[in-house]
Chains A and B, each alone.
Chain A
Amino acid sequence: MSVASPSPSPVPTTAERHRWLTGELREWERDGLLTPDAAAAIADRYVVTAETGRRITPVRVILGLGAVFVGIGLIWLVAANVDELSPLVRFLLVVVLWLGLAVAAELTRDLVSAALRLLTAITAGAVVFQAAQSLQVPAYRPHLLLAWGLGALLYAYARRSRAAGFVGITVLAVWYVWQVMDAGGGIVTFTGAVLLASVASVSLAVLHPPAWRGFGRLWLTLGAVMSLIGVFAAAVPYSGDGDEWSEGLTAGIVLALGLAAAALWRSSRDEQIELGLAVGALVLGLVMSLWRPMTYDDAMVPDELSVAMWLRTGLAILVFLVVAGGWAVVGARRGLPVVSAVATVGVVVFTTFQSFAVFAPIISGATLFIAVGVVMLITGVVAERARRRIGSEVRS
């Protein structure tokens, strides 16, 4: 250790872990294992941040659930179309309630304020839907979700509310998928659009400055979910009319890759892995979407399956497992259990879907589950052995 390396950026950790570490360091210092300077240097490598300091407490859960229930109830109340009040009065009532909640959120603190901001963001949807209902905007118009999502996201950033940000990003994601499906461009367009949104989301997550990292984690979660949806859709082997490349996809690729390049410019190693995973899923997803040797008219009869069909089906499973596994690892490394959980559930749903929709005529669902499980177990065992070997090398 002759050359002093530049001090790395502090590693975020929870208050509980930091307390444990500083307690241990004091013990080691007392036992003469560490000098005070070394103990201080080690302690300085870790920092408790607001994000990691936020713990899921029962009060937080109850307040959050309460806000969600009241918000959904308000939107439901709008949908009830209370005829006793005129459309204008209904709209004004919802607006007054929304403004009241926004003001109340500013006058309260901490958890209560956070819950009220969540409720304000949901109630913004009630305002949009009441306006649309009062003016008889035709049913099933996705642009109403766009108005709600953009407004909620703006409010979230202005008031630094992650809960409101969750509402805004979720609503925008639903709008995006709905809009893409509404466009009716076939499964290539759908897959490409969703995977491009994934790359854009992960890039946005990286582009958030450290002070806004909480919002970056929301975008990263969205990117992971979109990536899984896109690869899931790409794995469907059949194709039909309209499954062609579109100009919108080309424009989307330019935009998403531009964002990814900007993100790459200022990314850490972990973030580069996340970007690589999203871009890899995009490339593989597009390749699989364009390579569809089967049509909806083809039956999955084993004797009629060509080599290309077998290759394509096997590759689709492999790609999904790799992408889902990648996001599960990202979730674990980033302390985002939701991402890991979604990736895990995604594998189960994907395997079930493949069992019934694709493989049913070839092998039984049970066989496929066992095969996928065995592959994952072997992968896990190999990864664990590698981790132990690296650990023992570092110790030696």
Chain B
Amino acid sequence: MTTTSQQPVEPPRARGEGESRGPGRRGWLLLAAVVVVQLVLTLIAVLPQLSPRVSGTEVMLRVGPVDPIDPFRGAYVDLDYPDLPDPAFEGSDSDDRGTAYVALRQEGDVWVGGPIQRSEPDGLFLRCDDSGWRLECGIESWFVGQSAALDLEQSVRDQDAIATVRVDRWGNAAIVDLSPHEG
């Protein structure tokens, strides 16, 4: 058998032949670095929702929920926001669609959105995307247990619900609570 650079088969090693368990210091460091990078990737993936939770302003929005399932994350309540603009009625050209800004203003207990804008408005606003069939602002899903999702859906079927949303200064939004509308 020749030697080769193609990972020749190593003979089976017996335990206790002076070998130390584990990959060695360099191996552990490499593993730690990989783990850190994986955690950073996870952080980047959830950053638009993490940032407003940490530094955002809290607003209340009216919602109308339905109840589907995400294969990786389970039952959730899919949320529609009647007080935010609907891209179908905004009349934007499909070429213009993409990042959409919605200024928020308070009306009574809840906040409502103005028309879709293409540049950052002053004050509190949502940074959304209207390239799809509906406006997506990162607050369209509320994940709860299966039974809780059903209960929630039934309790708000005939009335509005209120979503408590935190919005940061860049317009990122994260939903932090969902409850039936009192009154």
Which of B3-11, B82-90, B103-111, B116-124 sits within the interface? B3-11
**Shortest distance between the CB of B135 and any CB in chain A (Å):** 12
Known: A50-B9, A106-B23. A78 touches B53 (CB 8 A): no
Question: What B residues does A60 contact at CB under 8 A?
Answer: none
Beta-carbon contact of A129 and B38 below 8 Å: no
Beta-carbon contact of A50 and B8 below 8 Å: yes
Beta-carbon contact of A139 and B70 below 8 Å: yes
Question: What B residues does A124 contact at CB under 8 A?
Answer: 38
Most A CB contacts (10 A, CB to CB) among B34, B41, B76, B174 go to B41
CA distance A143 to B41 in the complex (A): 10
Question: What A residues does B76 contact at CB under 8 A?
Answer: 139
CA distance A376 to B8 in the complex (A): 39
Beta-carbon contact of A49 and B8 below 8 Å: yes
Given A102-B31, A146-B45, A154-B38, 15 more A-B residue pairs with CB atoms under 8 Å apart are: A47-B1, A47-B4, A49-B8, A81-B74, A81-B145, A125-B72, A128-B41, A128-B45, A129-B72, A132-B45, A132-B46, A139-B73, A139-B141, A151-B34, A158-B31
**Shortest distance between the CB of A36 and any CB in chain B (Å):** 16
Beta-carbon contact of A131 and B42 below 8 Å: yes
Chain B interface residue count, Cβ-Cβ cutoff 8 angstroms? 56
Beta-carbon contact of A136 and B49 below 8 Å: yes
Chain A: interface secondary structure? helix
**Interface presence of A80 (CB below 8 A):** yes
**Interface presence of A56 (CB below 8 A):** no
**Shortest distance between the CB of B34 and any CB in chain A (Å):** 4
Beta-carbon contact of A135 and B174 below 8 Å: yes
Beta-carbon contact of A131 and B45 below 8 Å: yes
Which residues of chain A (20-70) have a CB below 8 Å from chain B?
22, 43-44, 46-51, 53
Question: What B residues does A22 contact at CB under 8 A?
Answer: 1
CA distance A82 to B146 in the complex (A): 9
Question: What B residues does A50 contact at CB under 8 A?
Answer: 6-10
Beta-carbon contact of B1 and A140 below 8 Å: no
Q: Which A residues contact B (CB, under 8 angstroms)?
A: 10, 12, 15, 18, 22, 43-44, 46-51, 53, 75, 78-83, 95, 99, 102-103, 106-107, 109, 124-125, 127-129, 131-133, 135-140, 143-144, 146-147, 150-152, 154-155, 158-159, 209-211, 213-214
Chain B: interface secondary structure? mixed
Beta-carbon contact of A138 and B138 below 8 Å: yes
Known: A49-B9, A136-B49. A102 touches B35 (CB 8 A): yes
Beta-carbon contact of B6 and A133 below 8 Å: no
Beta-carbon contact of B46 and A49 below 8 Å: no
**Interface presence of B175 (CB below 8 A):** yes
Question: What B residues does A44 contact at CB under 8 A?
Answer: 2
6 A-B contacts (beta carbon < 8 Å):
A10-B6, A47-B4, A136-B175, A136-B176, A137-B138, A213-B6
Question: What A residues does B74 contact at CB under 8 A?
Answer: 78-81, 133
Beta-carbon contact of B145 and A48 below 8 Å: no
Beta-carbon contact of A127 and B45 below 8 Å: no
Beta-carbon contact of A10 and B78 below 8 Å: no
Known: A128-B45, A133-B143. A139 touches B78 (CB 8 A): yes
Contact of A48 among B8, B34, B45 (CB under 8 A): B8
